[in-house]
Amino acid sequence: MWVGQALGPLTGSITDDLIRVTEQMIPVTDIAFDLAEMRAASIAENIALVQYVLANNIDPATVAPPAGAAAYAQRLARRGVPLTVLLRAYGLGQYRLLDTAIGLILAVPSADQAARIAQLLKFAGTYLDRLNSSMGRIYEAERDRWLSSRQAARQQWITRLLDGDDVDLPAAEAALGYRLDRQHLAAEVWTLPGAAGADTVRVLEQTRQLIAAAIPGGGAEMVASTGDRDMRVWVPAEDFSLDRLTDQIKASGLPVRVAFGSVGGGVPGFRRTARSAARAKALAVAAGQSAPPVIDFDAVAPFALLADEPEELADLVHRVLGPLAADNAKTELLRHTLEVFLAESGSYSRTARVLQVHRNTVQYRIQQLTGRYGIAVDTDNFELRFALGVCRWYRHVLTPPI
């Protein structure tokens, strides 16, 4: 197009004007001061390229972004600057170029002015679409590569800390962005079947935010991905409200489970809380759908520590409970009633309040337990309570229905 040749002598002033306007609309502070020079160079390269393409009638759909612009997009990706900042600048640049080019066309009266403007607008639309698509791919590829490399480096530091290697603690803290000389609480978080893809990412992120908000302590939490549907979170914590967090997770309706470890101090505590959180998770997985949304290792430690003894657990359960260890709705209801009854020190009225049933219903169920199943409820019941807890957490010990 002749307008491309007419733009040639004006590219310097257009570039200077666009750099000034861009700095006003998208301040340098939004992208970091050391990127200002790269941004100016990127603008100059893009203006020069558009002028060249127009002047030589090159198909805009075949044009690749200039090297400086690509490098600028990659730098933004590594800094975590949103892609919208980059695309907004390109939109602004196209507007300023179009304004100047249309002014040149209107300054030369001719019968085909409208056709020339229409041709220019078509060129601009094709070019901007091509540029945005190309720069978006460059940005996202660099962001993914950068995040992947950072995650790999973080995972190496975490693995060394958990394995008990002789670790340079200041270097580890700098790489992880997390202090190790304080109290730690680890949480295992995983999504339930049904969540997939982007929904899994959303569920994990929302759960992380709930955990971070519910647990006091100075500084930020540290997150490590442990799978496509799992993550581990460490938070600086002296104390936390498990009941409050449980209520929040239930209210959120998120298809997720959270298993907390024990609070521990320093590097030994960092390792210990991760191990105990992993054991609590293994216990919750063994319990299946009956597991609560939030599990606290300290509350279930006796059961969580027995995960490696499946045959011994099954033998104990069947010796103590006999037919009551059957896997069906009736025996499960009776086992739950008995657990509450023992926890309430054998009080029929308090058991009825907890279960929200009539007192006579509790009496009838206890009669079934003592008469039909031969369960003694008036003797030392530690072994009985333990066997009931095993049934609740380790479903595999139950006798399958015939």
DSSP 277-307: HHHHHHHHHHHGGGS-SEEEHHHHHHHHTTT
Position 113: which residue type?
A: Q
Percent of the chain with pLDDT over 90: 15
Determine the average pLDDT of the residues in 247-265: 89
Which pLDDT score is estimated for 175?
83
Q: What's the pLDDT score for residue 362?
A: 92
Is the pLDDT at 402 greater than 70, yes or no?
no
Which residues are 184's β-sheet partners? 236, 264
pLDDT (0 to 100) of residue 33: 54
Q: What is the mean pLDDT of the chain?
A: 83
Does residue 133 sit in the same domain as residue 213? no
Whether residues 224 and 324 share a domain: the answer is no
CATH number, domain with residue 384: 1.10.10.2840
Across 19-26, average pLDDT: 74
What would the two tokens of residue 132 be?
Answer: 């945005």
pTM > 0.75 = no
In a domain, 96, yes or no: yes
> Over 28-79, what HEC string results?
HHHCCHHHHHHHHHHHHHHHHHHHHHHHCCCCHHHCCCCHHHHHHHHHHHHH
Q: Are residues 120 and 90 in the same domain?
A: yes
In a domain, 160, yes or no: no
CB proximity list for 22: less than 8 A, separation 6 or greater: 39, 43, 89, 92, 93
**pLDDT at residue 235 above 60?**
yes
Instruction: Give the pLDDT score at 28.
Output: 52
- DSSP letters, 129-141, are HHHHHHHHHHHHH
pLDDT for the residue numbered 26: 64
Domain boundary among 248, 274, 304: 304
CA-CA-CA-CA torsion sign (34, 38, 39, 40) = positive
Q: Are residues 12 and 143 in the same domain?
A: yes
CATH number where 264 lies:
3.30.70.270
Q: How far apart are CA 325 and CA 133, in angstroms?
A: 62
Domain boundary among 278, 304, 330: 304
Residue 210 has pLDDT above 60, yes or no: yes
Residue 174: inside a domain: no
End-to-end Cα spacing for the chain? 84
Q: How many CB atoms lie within 10 A of CB 341?
A: 23
Q: Give helix 67-79 / helix 83-106 axis angle, nearest 10°.
A: 150
pLDDT of residue 274: 92
259 and 275 fall within a common domain: yes
Listed residues 262, 287, 304: the one ending a domain: 304
CA quadruple 324, 330, 334, 335: dihedral, nearest 10: 60
How many residues are there in the chain?
402
pLDDT at residue 366 is higher than 80: yes
Residues 4 and 14: their CA atoms lie apart, in Å, by 13
pLDDT (tens digit per residue) in 26-39: 665 544 555 777 77
* CA–CA distance, 75 with 143 (Å, rounded to integer): 9
Check: CB of residue 127 under 8 Å from CB of residue 47: no
Instruction: Say whether both 257 and 191 belong to one domain.
Output: yes
Predicted local confidence at residue 365, as pLDDT:
93
> Residue 23 pLDDT more than 70?
yes
Task: For residue range 102-158, list pLDDT tens digits in order.
Answer: 888 888 888 888 888 888 888 888 888 888 888 888 888 888 787 677 777 788 888
Is the residue at 163 inside a domain?
Answer: no
Domain that holds residue 334: 310-397
| Residue 198 confidence (pLDDT) | 59
Is the pLDDT reported for residue 218 higher than 90?
no
**CA atoms within a 13 Å half-sphere pointing along the CA-CB vector of 91:** 8
Q: How many domains does the chain have?
A: 3
| pLDDT tier, 286 (very low <50, low <70, confident <90, very high otherwise) | confident
pLDDT for 197:
57
- Both 361 and 288 in one domain: the answer is no
Encode pLDDT of 42-58 as tens digits: 888 888 888 888 888 88
Looking at the structure, do residues 142 and 193 belong to the same domain, yes or no?
no
Letter for the amino acid at 343?
Answer: A
113 contacts: CB under 8 Å, gap ≥ 6 = 105, 106
3-state secondary structure of 258: strand
Which residues fall within 8 angstroms of residue 177, CB to CB, at 6 or more apart? Answer: 220, 222
